[in-house]
Amino acid sequence: MTDQIDIEELIDANIQNNLEGENNIETFKTNVPPKWNVSLDDCGYKQLPNGTEFVHDDVRNIRLFEDVGTVEPVPLFVDKPFGVGMGTMQKLEKYKALISTHTGDVLNCRPISDTYKLVNHSELFEKQGKYLQENSDLPLNNVEVIDRVYENGRRASRTIHFNDLKMDVGQNDLVKCRLDVFNSVDMSWAFQVFSGAYRSLCQNTQVFGGEKAYQNKHLHTQNLNVDAMLTNANTSLSSWYANQDAMIHWKNTKVTDKKFATFLTNTLCKVENGRGTKLIADAEYKVNNKLLNFFMDKYHAESNQSGENLWTAYNCLTYWSTHTDANYVDKNGKDQTLGETKSKHTVQMNRQNKIRQLLTSDAWQELELVA
């Protein structure tokens, strides 16, 4: 691991040489791809298609995030394109570039403004680990911690499975409590903390919605209070106990495949004006038959084991939000793949947010009321 360098020494030697300035800030790019102080391939980590993963059992362990390094804002200069002083370097007063403090390389992202609040991954997860150990009621002696970084460290997430907080929904269908934190240093992700569950049977990431869930999402603006969001995450314990009752209720609530299909055509599989799916009612709309076929194929397979009930329907939804490249058999008996071109972790986050929204919808509440 290389020593940290003096940022001030890089302003003239690196920034001016490596940045390609344009007078349009919105289209600003750098010509230097981000690099980091160590090769993560050599550290015993698992390599993902778009990132790196480190699984361990200590909430105070931030090794992966330390190896990725931190970024810092530095003055930004552009080549004045015309007028007096044309061809000279001009400092932008309200915008800065982001640079790796380990290598001095510039991140290939838009410049940040004065209102942006930078939260480095290592500092964030060191703070979370300390809080959980010193101020939380969550059991930490038997946990699985999954740390991930994406896009060379520009995005990061931490998932904690609390193995001592688990329940059997029925027929050895085990579910355990989990806590997730997401962060970015390049404005691509908002800072997000949410509690949920993990289903061992199908490796689903289960999300909750409404008053029984803890979820907090905030842009990286100056009023972002990271400490408060991490502190409030302790409510994930009460959220876990509250949602245990919900899961048992869903297990005991009968939902036929016809009723589930009707629910889907009015919600997730509803396409308006050919531009996407919304969770609102409209007189005229199209149905995403590919997505509907996926859900129904999954529902029929799942119901053979767990029955025709709302718990089965819920797990079909969370299977979709977890397994972004899932295979299924369509109504004609042909094998199909439900994939998207975006990064897997981005697709997962988008789908999980849709499920959270769906769980508070009138359509879902109507299913819950079915005796």
End residue of a domain, out of 44, 79, 113 = 113
Q: How many domains does the chain have?
A: 3
Residue 36 vs residues 65, 66, 154: alpha-carbon distances, Å:
11, 11, 11
Mark whether 277 and 328 lie in a shared domain: yes
| DSSP code, position 127 | H
Contact between 189 and 155 under an 8 Å Cβ cutoff? The reply is yes
Q: What is the DSSP string of 44-84?
A: TPEEETTEEEEEES-TT--HHHHHH--EEEEEEEEE--SST
Confidence at residue 285, expressed as pLDDT on a 0 to 100 scale: 64
Do 260 and 237 lie in a common domain?
no
- What pLDDT score was predicted for residue 40? 60
Q: Which residues of the chain have pLDDT under 50?
A: 1-38, 274, 276-283, 371
Q: Do residues 176 and 217 lie in contact, with contact meaning Cβ atoms separated by under 8 Å?
A: no
| Entry pTM | 0.73
* pLDDT tens-place string over residues 98-132: 988 877 788 888 888 889 999 999 999 999 999 99
Q: Do 228 and 328 fall into the same domain?
A: no
End position of a domain, from candidates 244, 260, 287: 244
pLDDT at res. 80: 74
Q: What is the pLDDT of residue 328?
A: 52
Instruction: Please tell me the predicted confidence (pLDDT) of residue 202.
Output: 60
Residues 182 and 221 grouped into a single domain: yes
Whole-number pLDDT of residue 158:
95
The answer to whether position 38 is within a domain reads: no
pLDDT of residue 248: 86
Residues 322-365: pLDDT tens digits? Answer: 776 655 555 565 655 655 555 677 777 788 888 888 888 888 88
Inside any domain, residue 42? no
Residue 294, amino acid: F
| Domain residue limits at 149 | 121-244
User: What pLDDT is recorded for position 59?
Assistant: 94
